[in-house]
């Protein structure tokens, strides 16, 4: 259990100057041109075939964990920016089969269904076309030439459908420095907190090139007790804007959290909205996962003391989408 001092962010920001801070962080952390002018993979370039081979060797127990929330009408969305929960409708049912009204021969029957939902309504990846910085998309391209009404013609999520497989690392910050395995809403996780968590968890939590980092804050566990409330878009623990340099320096392939927005909310600047997104997605090329369910995995890691695992987290390859649902599977 942590005391008040331990739960206090250590890095200082000029709250009144988000524009300047974002511009400076974008300059320091830019990967534009690093993998060529035509690159569409961003930081997934760090996750190569050799890294996947090493990740496969981490499977020793055969225990698997789905890191996805359920996709149903009881989800977290409240309509912000027209995001709704999935609407699941049956097209054919067992009742229809019993009534013999499906029109099939020799007694065969079946069931079919359809779902309508925003692609970022539950566990998902943000694609590289999701966020822009002053009208520029990943790798310096003009945003209007990347994403139009027809979708993302350059960095659509389908371009990485076979790439997000590798070594996963859980940083259970909620358990390492929080109170009762949870961080309070509005708590900004700094690079010092991430490093403290790595030290507390030991060698298997070391983060390096090509890793897919999963950061657990404990907020999702809290919503299970108390209800969704403002989980979607409201106050939340999350990464501090000051972690941009740590994310860049570590050369990770991707990062995911158990929160709606990845970074701390309210944001750390006056009159700002998701400033860390503005740095890491269009400038760094970092893939960001949100609303991942890390609780069962975290319980297992806390017991066996191993925080690395094989992770496959392929997005649904919706052509031209700027984000997509995912059912990540961690295997230990």
Q: Are residues 139 and 104 in the same domain?
A: no
Task: Tell me how far apart the alpha carbons of residues 109 and 100 are, in angstroms, rounded to a whole number.
Answer: 8
Q: Counting runs of H as helices and runs of E as strands, what totals does the chain give?
A: 10, 15
* 3: pLDDT strictly greater than 60: no
The pTM (predicted TM-score) of the whole model is 0.95
The beta-strand segments (E) located in 156-252 are: 165-172, 188-189, 212-216, 238-239
In a domain, 6, yes or no: no
Contact 146, 131 (CB under 8 A): no
81-94 tens-digit pLDDT: 899 999 999 999 99
- How would residue 11 be classed by pLDDT, with cut points 50, 70 and 90? low
* 33: pLDDT strictly greater than 70: yes
Contact 244, 13 (CB under 8 A): no
Q: In the prediction, which pLDDT does 119 show?
A: 97
In a domain, 101, yes or no: yes
Average pLDDT over residues 289-293: 98
Q: Are residues 208 and 273 in the same domain?
A: yes
Give the total number of structural domains in the chain: 2
- The mean predicted confidence, pLDDT, of the chain is 95
What's the domain range around 226?
Answer: 16-78+119-331
Average pLDDT over residues 46-72: 98
In a domain, 69, yes or no: yes
Q: In the prediction, which pLDDT does 222 show?
A: 98
């Amino acid at each position: 259990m942590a005391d008040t001092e331990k739960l206090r962010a250590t890095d200082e920001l000029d709250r009144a100057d988000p524009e300047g801070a974002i511009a400076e962080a974008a300059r320091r952390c830019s990967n534009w041109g690093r993998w060529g002018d035509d690159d569409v993979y961003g930081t997934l370039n760090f996750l190569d075939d050799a890294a996947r081979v090493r990740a496969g060797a981490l499977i020793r127990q055969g225990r698997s964990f789905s890191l996805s929330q359920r996709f149903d009408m009881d989800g977290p969305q409240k309509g912000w920016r027209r995001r709704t929960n999935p609407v699941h409708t049956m097209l054919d049912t067992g009742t229809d089969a019993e009534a013999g009204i499906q029109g099939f021969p020799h007694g065969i029957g079946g069931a079919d269904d359809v779902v309508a939902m925003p692609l970022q309504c539950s566990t998902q990846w943000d694609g590289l076309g999701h966020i822009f910085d002053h009208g520029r998309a990943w790798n310096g391209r003009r945003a209007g030439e990347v994403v139009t009404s027809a979708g993302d013609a350059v960095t659509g999520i389908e371009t990485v459908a076979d790439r997000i497989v590798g070594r996963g690392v859980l940083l259970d910050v909620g358990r390492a420095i929080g109170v009762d395995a949870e961080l309070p809403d509005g708590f900004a996780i700094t690079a010092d907190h991430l490093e403290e968590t790595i030290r507390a968890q030991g060698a298997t939590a070391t983060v390096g090139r090509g890793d897919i980092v999963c950061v657990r804050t404990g907020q999702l566990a809290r919503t299970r007790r108390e209800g969704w409330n403002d989980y979607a878009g409201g106050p939340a623990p999350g990464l501090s804007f000051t972690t941009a340099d740590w994310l860049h320096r570590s050369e990770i392939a991707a990062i995911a959290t158990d929160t709606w927005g990845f970074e701390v909310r309210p944001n750390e600047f006056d009159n700002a909205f998701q400033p860390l997104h503005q740095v890491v997605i269009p400038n760094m090329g970092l893939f960001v996962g949100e609303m991942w369910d890390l609780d069962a995995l975290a319980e297992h890691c806390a017991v066996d003391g191993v925080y690395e695992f094989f992770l496959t987290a392929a997005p649904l390859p919706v052509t031209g989408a700027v984000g997509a649902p995912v059912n990540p599977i961690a295997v230990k």
